[in-house]
Copies of this chain bind each other. A is one copy, B any other.
Amino acid sequence: MTKRTEVAKLAGVSEATVSRVLSGTGPIKEATRLKVLEAADALGYVPSDIARQFAKKRSGNLGVVLPFMPNVPLFSTFYFSQLLGGIGLAAGERGLNLLLIFRQPGDASPYAGLFRSRKADACIVLGSSGIPGEREALMELETAGYPYAVAGQRFEGLEHRTADGDHAAGSRQTVAHLHGLGCRSIAFVGGPAQYSNSGDRYAGYVEGLEQADLPLSPHIVLEGKYSRKSGLALASRVEELLRSGQADSVYAGNDRMAIGIMQGLLEKGIQAGRDYALAGYDGSDGASMTSPQLTSVAVPFDEVGRQAALRAIGEAEGGIAPSHELMLATRLAARDSTLLYRPGRP
């Protein structure tokens, strides 16, 4: 590996000048600049990023902490992949690389350790949940003053670190949409309670019912696991609700569960859009793959990720910590799974 010394010698200048030319700092006479560049090129010299990082005490990495879930194709979930895409975009814009860290469930050490070991200059936490210890681990970052952001999960007292979609609003939009179609009893299939966005969606559902002047019936509120499988598993209970007339429509907390429900009911001869209205959530690509296509709430998860990253990076580069929660607008994408439904049919 050629190093700075050789370039300096060949160009007939000092090492400091080489450094200045190649890092673009300090005033340099154009002639010297060219000499140095030529010498560097001739020798195939590229500064060692490792040494640079060491000298500047900055890694140039944006850490992204992801939950490690065996048997779960994490990246293929629309939610994570979109977030990650947006984060990658922001990192690219600011000249940072993305450092992916997989976190074992329950092991919160990566958070502060990431900074203490100087592996990353800023960090984004994805897929965190309300399990014990999680909040404490983040609070450690907070008190230590490390620049970070949480995407997709709210923590009490740390709201200003959060970026997410406005899920309550998304839920209200969905309920209003179903109500507008004539639905009068909307079953809700929520996600695990440990995720704050599950609660947000439920809260929006309740608010939406209120605004539509519909009663809230706890027995038509179910809970799944955000997976297609869990939707499938709930299909028979949903079937009961529909057959008994307790519900004429279903609003599922994400598209995967909605698709599972759609499939499970189809096996029993009950078609979404014909026999009941079905809405999902996330606006994933899967929603356009079903027949009928699935009504869903489009959440700009990529932008959520991007904004979260920009905040953390900005803080790392000397800015100040954000003071308020970031909540991005959602948009209802109405499709045939609800649009085709005509209430009042048997």
Interface residues of A in 64-105 (CB under 8 A from B): 68, 73-76, 78, 80-82, 84-85, 88, 92, 97-102
Closest to A1 in B: B116
Could you tell me if A302 and B73 are in contact, using CB atoms closer than 8 angstroms? yes
Q: Is A30 an interface residue (CB 8 A)?
A: no
Which of A183-191, A210-218, A285-293, A311-319 participates in binding chain B? A285-293
- Residues of chain B within 8 A of A116, CB atoms compared: 1, 44, 46
- Subset of 23 A-B contacts with CB under 8 Å: A44-B116, A46-B116, A49-B118, A61-B99, A68-B92, A73-B85, A73-B285, A75-B84, A75-B85, A76-B76, A88-B100, A97-B100, A97-B101, A97-B119, A98-B99, A99-B99, A100-B100, A259-B289, A263-B289, A263-B291, A266-B291, A285-B286, A290-B291
Could you tell me if B113 and A46 are in contact, using CB atoms closer than 8 angstroms? yes
Question: How often does this chain occur in the complex, in copies?
Answer: 2
Tell me whether A82 and B76 are in contact in the complex, defined as CB-CB below 8 angstroms, given that A54-B54, A290-B291 are known contacts: yes
Q: In the assembly, what is the distance between CA of A57 and CA of B48, in Å?
A: 9
Could you tell me if A50 and B100 are in contact, using CB atoms closer than 8 angstroms? no
Could you tell me if A76 and B81 are in contact, using CB atoms closer than 8 angstroms? yes
Task: Point out residues on A near B: beta carbons under 8 Å.
Answer: 1, 44, 46-51, 53-54, 57, 59, 61, 68, 73-76, 78, 80-82, 84-85, 88, 92, 97-102, 113, 116-119, 228, 259, 263, 266, 284-286, 288-291, 302
Could you tell me if B75 and A82 are in contact, using CB atoms closer than 8 angstroms? yes
Could you tell me if A59 and B50 are in contact, using CB atoms closer than 8 angstroms? yes
- Residues of chain B within 8 A of A1, CB atoms compared: 116
Q: In the assembly, what is the distance between CA of A50 and CA of B119, in Å?
A: 7
Closest to A102 in B: B92
Tell me whether A73 and B81 are in contact in the complex, defined as CB-CB below 8 angstroms, given that A47-B117, A92-B102 are known contacts: yes
